[in-house]
A and B are shown apart, each in its own frame.
Chain A
């Protein structure tokens, strides 16, 4: 173990210390990785594997026992593990740099219904937080605006790019909305009991949403004499080309959200957070609706919940046949996005099969994001976005990357943080 660290240290010391890492050049020669345990992301594992890719796409996935020609540069990864790049769903990477510095935050636009607000153009490809994802295997993310009733339109990016345009994998993939809660919290700062009480405005709030959907649909079917940007932005919801991500909690709210959306003619739906989804699994299965779970590293919602409720929920939903992924929304979500693999690991510790847990951050996320044709598994024809880890990448002890590729590009695993590490380690070494 120490050897690896030192060799990494030496490796890093060669590079210059710069503010941000330079995005890697386009793949110019083919690469073959052999000997590793390949976790394909679809549940399959190939021991002693051979993975080859060229011009950014995977060209071969199979056993290293096969006597076929290795293309291009050969990387011997015997004893190591290879994974498809992890995908963070419902993330806000690049939309803010320092949570407490308002000037650096572009996460939440004012207004109630903002379907026209697009995250992609604010995505800072050079964010220091973004680069800290890569050494942990998080190579792609859905960048999502927050706030309001309809928060806006997300896009999917890969995390090694000069600018947002280059970063985009899928532009304007989905629209996100926050479903109202049927509960409201007492305003403790006014001396009210902070307890949650049934919100008497819930009926009106959901009715407002119904009206908004109906108005949008009417507008899109009509003359459009005055262009309405928010309604224009919702076109994809009604023709099915864009998915509606409904951020919703509670059995009642989930049921209402699905019913109201479907009645409005929106059939392409995913749920986000969805606490209580375990009580409405039939509805989800029937409508083929995937769920983006909240991070497991949070406290259960109420005092009487089992201590491991947030850990076992993945197993519960998987057993019911629901496609689940992991979302990032929550406290300090940007910097914590690099812990994505360990969230999957935690779900696995509490019941989920390891490869099923891996699916949550690879093939399932790709499926829910509608990009499974491109990424999410190690399969021929897909983007060569993958990495080599010293061991089990879902376990923090062994999630140690030696190589990572995005679309075949050999990306830097250095960060602002590794540079400070080297700088100060050297300072004390020389003293």
Chain B
């Protein structure tokens, strides 16, 4: 508190309205009247407490009384608001108001910056809880005016920079006062995002998953610091601990990020208020399940200009739907009882706020909820009960409107903030709209006045002929200039008190003075034909949301069925080999029976005659379904996990199941020797990330050796290690430290919890397995020796193209090999890669899998398996195992998947042909007994996409033809993720 007073004192030095104890040098001290009464108004004390014909009495910037029987003290200036409405001014809980974004840091050298720039703070520059934006705050009068005009009285602001961004300021939008009065709170909340600070070029984290891991570690460290265990001073952690009891607001870029933020919050014990993105309708049940408070923007996009069909066909259904569906977001959220406030955040102009909100209301958003989302909800999120309502004692922040504030025709007249008036549109301006007979110089004209308030416009005609003219109505004076062939006639005059008559003086073309008058002809009736047609008043048909909400998504999630596949050739991937003419029964998500003449009640029967049934393909090495693949800004990133960034909206999930792949290990990339943890997922198209990840998933981590990790193709590689020699030492160092860490942990003494060390200790304790990207024999041999030294085994070498050179050593070590069928020659270390690799390793007793590392190859791994027959002569049975049971074994999920065996998961694929024939096509892909791919359904989906696009194109054309704004067609950006992909999807 004392600090606050000091601050206030500081700010008051350069302001006009001095505080009462400040000396006055400009004249004598005067007292200003601060009491006002507003009578006969409809008053929204809260969104649900509405008083008709009531009085609002304010004094000294606060609400003194509100009600029907308020006694107005003497000396109070009273305004009669008959027919008008008073609402509490709105609150924007999320903005950067008055705090300009910091400048982007310039590069200090050509190389990558690994270390922090700041001293005395956390090791990572993007953690900036110490940011106190008060020193950067400058009341932005222009922006404030925009807010005031839109009805806002209070905005919450902060420095929008960094992952942890420090505290924020709550500002009353009172241009008439000084910061000393209008700063309501200097520690209004603490802010977060997944985006790095621009003030530092420190490379870590380079990915979403890195940012998530960093947040977790920061909280662990803050705790450790709070307990006094750190020797150094860390002003960032101190600030984080000091901000602990504030509202914690997390900005996110899409609904998947919102779920990620919430997940982290649950882990670290922080209930984040999440700044959403407007796409929450895509997974509203998951959003609801977070139980978080949300702050939702309403920056609706414009329709695409689809008038050029060649351009229009580039737009994805996903992007077209966004335009169609997003106006329904608020309605969907509120029907699902998600608690949210509204924000102007992301709007290009505050002016479009009401237009968009009105649009949302026409799409079914409840007005009372809208009012709450602008007043009481943000107030409660910010923990401030004296704003957002007009109860006695609250700030006198209120707007006076001509009627329902959510009606397009309504004007906001005044917006009072802290008891000070701001005029938005003059409510004393007369309404002079109507049709008049105008007489001047013995001639008659028709004058018609339209518009409202200060913007009333007049147009003049003579008969059917339009006359060039100028009309203005200001300060109660009407000025008209007629421009006829003969010259100009000028008129000035006023409306005669409360009658329908205008009168005044005119100057004719020769400058002779005369009089003019205009009398109203008929009662003002707005012609409906003049109304802008535009689609804004009518909600369009909202296309149904599919899961995921893109082309080929499922409107209804596949359900578990009892399925009986009859008379089919079964590739068991077990010792039984191939079984002809068998029936396979799938029930409750499991393979329950394999036999002949099977029967099951209510089963979906599929005739398998002439067809082949196999276990679903397992891809040991995939990079689909993730928004990022590498956290390459450090040589070890054991703290990150792909599970954090699984992207269930990736079309490649669908394309993979169309090729029979049902399980994939989504591996971290190969940017660093110790990579991140894997996500092992079932490709259950349409389900969310959480349900795709295996239950009790085996724990895996990616390691990598060779050219990629030593930055061979980077022009500015400066990170250790730069050689294979360095790689050995780096990995040994990490395991040495992990061993010491684990010993300390097990000893029961206090220790600083380190997520990276935790992960590595799991490896030492044989709880987590390594899948190591590797190519040449030297490095393969090396890593096995390092593992031996620490008494564990490498689980899998992936890629392992020179595995054939050390296959005997691999077999002895007990490591598996997951390789490409025939890739080589793309870099120096694969010069000796041969397609016979799989066969040689297999013959030497190594468990061999064929993997993809490529989203295209992963949809035809059956063909890649077939190549082991051509190259090296593997038998068909063994070849088939390289994409089913073998990778399942390598992933420690062979008890669940990888073969057709009673009791295993019902993950099977029905093929029209020998599964390794080049001519084979998938008929059905079933996971957990649910049909996720069906060729007949796929054909229907293609038709549906075409039809829906056509409907949307018509809607967009209609929007354009009726004057709606449009934008240029765009084709979605796309990243083909491989091991060495460093970029990220921003959706």
**A residues bordering B, Cβ < 8 Å?**
1-2, 4-5, 97-101, 128-129, 183, 185-186, 188-189, 193-198, 250-252, 297-300, 302-304, 306-308, 332, 334-335, 338-339, 342, 345-346, 348-350, 394-400, 417-418, 420-421, 424-425, 428, 431
Contact = CB atoms under 8 A, between A and B. Distances in A.
B843 A348 contact: no
B620 to A, nearest CB: 20
Contacts of B972: 195-196, 302-303
**Which interface residue of B654, B712, B855, B917 has the most chain A CB atoms within 10 A?**
B917
Contacts of B968: 197-198
Contacts of B823: 332, 335
Given A299-B855, A350-B921, A425-B843, A396 B867 contact: yes
7 contacts: A195-B971, A196-B973, A298-B856, A299-B976, A304-B551, A335-B824, A345-B919
Nearest to B811: A428
Given A297-B856, A349-B921, A421-B872, A428 B844 contact: yes
A128 B317 CA distance: 45
B78 interface: no
Given A299-B855, A303-B318, A428 B311 contact: no
Interface in B832-874: 832, 834-836, 840, 843-844, 855-857, 859-860, 863, 866-867, 869-873
B472 interface: no
B447 interface: no
Given A303-B651, A395-B917, A188 B973 contact: yes
B983 interface: yes
Given A396-B863, A420-B834, A100 B856 contact: no
Contacts of A5: 872-873
Nearest to A4: B873
Nearest to B713: A100
Given A339-B822, A420-B832, A428 B807 contact: yes
B952 to A, nearest CB: 12
A307 B835 CA distance: 27
A303 B653 CA distance: 11
B970 interface: yes
A195 B870 contact: no
B808 A396 contact: no
Nearest to B946: A304
A425 B837 CA distance: 10
Nearest to A200: B968
Contact of B826 (A98, A196, A431): A98
Contact of A335 (B825, B876, B916, B920): B825
Nearest to B836: A421
Contacts of A197: 968, 970-971
B831 interface: yes
A63 B970 CA distance: 58
A374 B828 CA distance: 37
B834 A417 contact: yes
B658 interface: yes
A396 B869 contact: yes
Contacts of A431: 808
Given A417-B834, A431-B808, 7 more contacts: A5-B872, A100-B826, A304-B945, A345-B918, A420-B804, A421-B834, A424-B840
Contact of A342 (B832, B836, B918): B918
Nearest to B656: A307
B873 A100 contact: no
A66 B920 CA distance: 37
A194 B985 CA distance: 9
B576 interface: no
B969 interface: yes
A2 B867 CA distance: 15
B918 A100 contact: no
B804 A1 contact: no
Nearest to A338: B822
Given A195-B971, A395-B918, A420 B938 contact: no
A183 B971 contact: yes
Contacts of A424: 804-805, 807, 840
B826 A297 contact: no
B317 A397 contact: no
Nearest to A422: B836
Interface string B790-821: 00000000000000110110000000000000
A336 to B, nearest CB: 8
Interface in B606-658: 651-652, 654-655, 658
B973 A194 contact: yes
Nearest to A349: B919
Given A297-B860, A307-B658, A431-B808, A195 B917 contact: no
Contacts of B311: 198
Interface in B930-987: 938, 942, 945, 949, 968-976, 983, 986
Interface string B885-914: 000000000000000000000000000000
B314 interface: yes
Nearest to B855: A299
Contacts of A101: 827-828
A397 B916 contact: yes
B973 to A, nearest CB: 3
Interface in B342-358: none
Contacts of A198: 311, 968-969
Contacts of A399: 870
A23 B968 CA distance: 57
Q: What 3 A-B pairs have minimum CB-CB distances, sorted nearest first?
A: A194-B973, A5-B873, A345-B918
Contacts of B969: 198
Given A196-B970, A304-B945, A335-B823, A421 B828 contact: no
B316 interface: yes
**Which interface residue of B551, B856, B968 has the most chain A CB atoms within 10 A?**
B856
A338 B823 CA distance: 11
A243 B831 CA distance: 35
A128 B825 CA distance: 9
Contacts of B835: 417
B58 to A, nearest CB: 47
Contacts of A195: 970-973
Given A198-B968, A335-B823, A349-B920, A303 B942 contact: no
Contact of B316 (A183, A303, A398): A303
Contacts of A251: 310
A338 B835 CA distance: 12
B789 to A, nearest CB: 25
A420 B917 contact: no
B870 A397 contact: yes
A309 to B, nearest CB: 10
A302 B983 CA distance: 19
Nearest to A345: B918
Contacts of A98: 825-828, 831
B150 interface: no
Contacts of A306: 938, 942
B869 A100 contact: no
Interface string B543-556: 00000001110000
A306 B875 CA distance: 33
Nearest to B657: A307
Contact of B918 (A189, A334, A348, A417): A348
Contacts of B366: none
Contacts of B859: 307
Nearest to A250: B310
Nearest to A251: B310
Nearest to B804: A424
A420 B836 contact: yes
A37 B822 CA distance: 28
Contacts of B919: 345, 348-349, 395
Contacts of B550: 303-304
Contacts of B832: 420
Contacts of B652: 299
Contacts of A183: 314, 971
Interface in B642-689: 651-652, 654-655, 658-659
